[in-house]
Amino acid sequence: MKEVKSFISHLSSIIYSERYTLIAKCIESVSQLKRIIVVAGARPNFMKIARLVERLKKDRNFECLLVHTGQHYDFVMSEVFFQELRIPKPDVFLNVGSGSHAEQTAKIMIAFEAVLLDEKPDLVVVAGDVNSTLACSLTAAKLGVRVAHIESGLRSFDRTMPEEINRVVTDALSDIYFVSEQSGVENLIREGAAKKSIHLVGSVMIDPVLRMAKAIDRSRVLRRLDLKPQNYAVLTLHRPSNVDSLETLAEIYKILSAVSERVRLVYPIHPRTRDRMQTHDLLNQFTGLKDLQMIEPLGYLDFVKLVKESRFVLTDSGSIQEETTYMHIPCLTMRDNTERPSTVEMGTNKLVGRDKKVITKAVDCILNGKWRPGRVPRYWDGKATERILSVLQEI
Q: Give catalytic residues, as residue numbers.
A: 238
Q: List the strands of the sheet with 331-333, edge to edge.
A: 292-295, 264-268, 232-236, 312-315, 331-333, 349-351
In whole angstroms, how close is the CB of 47 to ligand UD1 at the nearest point? Answer: 12
Regarding 278 and contact with ligand UD1 (CB under 6 A), the answer is no
With contact defined as beta carbons under 8 Å apart, do 177 and 193 qualify? yes
Q: Can residue 208 be called a binding residue for ligand UD1 (CB under 6 A)? A: no
The stretch among 47-55, 69-77, 111-119, 380-388 that binds ligand UD1 (CB under 6 A) is: 69-77
Q: Closer to ligand UD1 by CB, 34 or 272: give it.
A: 272
What SS3 class is residue 310? coil
User: In terms of DSSP H, where are the helices of the chain?
Assistant: 2-17, 21-31, 43-58, 79-84, 101-119, 131-142, 162-173, 182-190, 206-211, 213-218, 221-224, 240-243, 246-262, 271-279, 283-287, 300-308, 319-327, 342-345, 356-367, 384-394
Q: Which stretch binds ligand UD1 (CB under 6 A): 12-20, 22-30, 71-79, 115-123?
A: 71-79
Compute φ and ψ for 39, nearest 5 degrees. -105, 135
Instruction: Give the span between the Cα atoms of 106 and 134, in whole angstroms.
Output: 10
Rounded to whole angstroms, how far apart are CA atoms 226 and 154?
Answer: 38
Strands 176-179 and 146-152: parallel
Check residue 275 for interaction with ligand UD1 (CB under 6 A).
Answer: yes
Is residue 131 at the binding interface for ligand UD1, with CB under 6 A as the rule? yes
In the complex, minimum distance from the CB of residue 71 to ligand UD1, in angstroms, rounded to a whole number = 5
List of residues 6+ apart from 312 with CB closer than 8 A:
233, 234, 329, 330, 331, 332, 363, 366, 371
Binding span for ligand UD1 by CB under 6 A among 40-48, 174-182, 260-268, 353-361:
40-48
Taking the complex as a whole, the smallest distance from the CB of residue 378 to ligand UD1 amounts, in Å, to: 25
Return the number of the residue (222 or 307) whose C-beta is nearest ligand UD1: 307
The residue (of 131 and 324) whose beta carbon lies closer to ligand UD1 is: 131
Q: Does 335 bind ligand UD1 (CB under 6 A)?
A: no
Contacts of 119 (CB under 8 A, 6+ apart): 1, 2, 35, 37, 65
User: Does 28 help bind ligand UD1 (rule: CB under 6 A)?
Assistant: no
Q: Is 272 in the site for ligand UD1 (CB under 6 A)?
A: yes
Hey, is 103 helix, strand or coil?
A: helix
Rounded distance, CA 270 to CA 222, Å? 20
Tell me whether residue 73 or residue 253 sits nearer to ligand UD1 (CB atom): 73
Out of 11, 23, 27, 77, name the contact with ligand UD1 by CB under 6 A.
77
The answer to the question of residue 70 lying near ligand UD1 (CB under 6 A) is no
Q: Tell me if 73 contacts ligand UD1 by CB under 6 A.
A: yes
Does 72 bind ligand UD1 (CB under 6 A)? Our answer is: yes
Q: Interface with ligand UD1 includes 42 (CB under 6 A)? A: yes
By CB under 6 A, name the one of 4, 6, 21, 74 that touches ligand UD1.
Answer: 74
By the rule CB under 6 A, 43 interacts with ligand UD1? yes
Among 238, 305, 311, 350, binds ligand UD1 (CB under 6 A): 238
Contact with ligand UD1 (CB under 6 A) among 15, 39, 44, 374: 44
Kindly give the residue spans of alpha helices, DSSP state H, lying in 35-153.
43-58, 79-84, 101-119, 131-142
Tell me how far apart the alpha carbons of residues 194 and 192 are, in angstroms, rounded to a whole number: 6
Using CB under 6 A, which of 93, 162, 199, 375 touches ligand UD1? 162
Binding site for ligand UD1 (CB under 6 A): 42-44, 71-74, 77, 98, 129-131, 162-163, 238, 270-272, 275
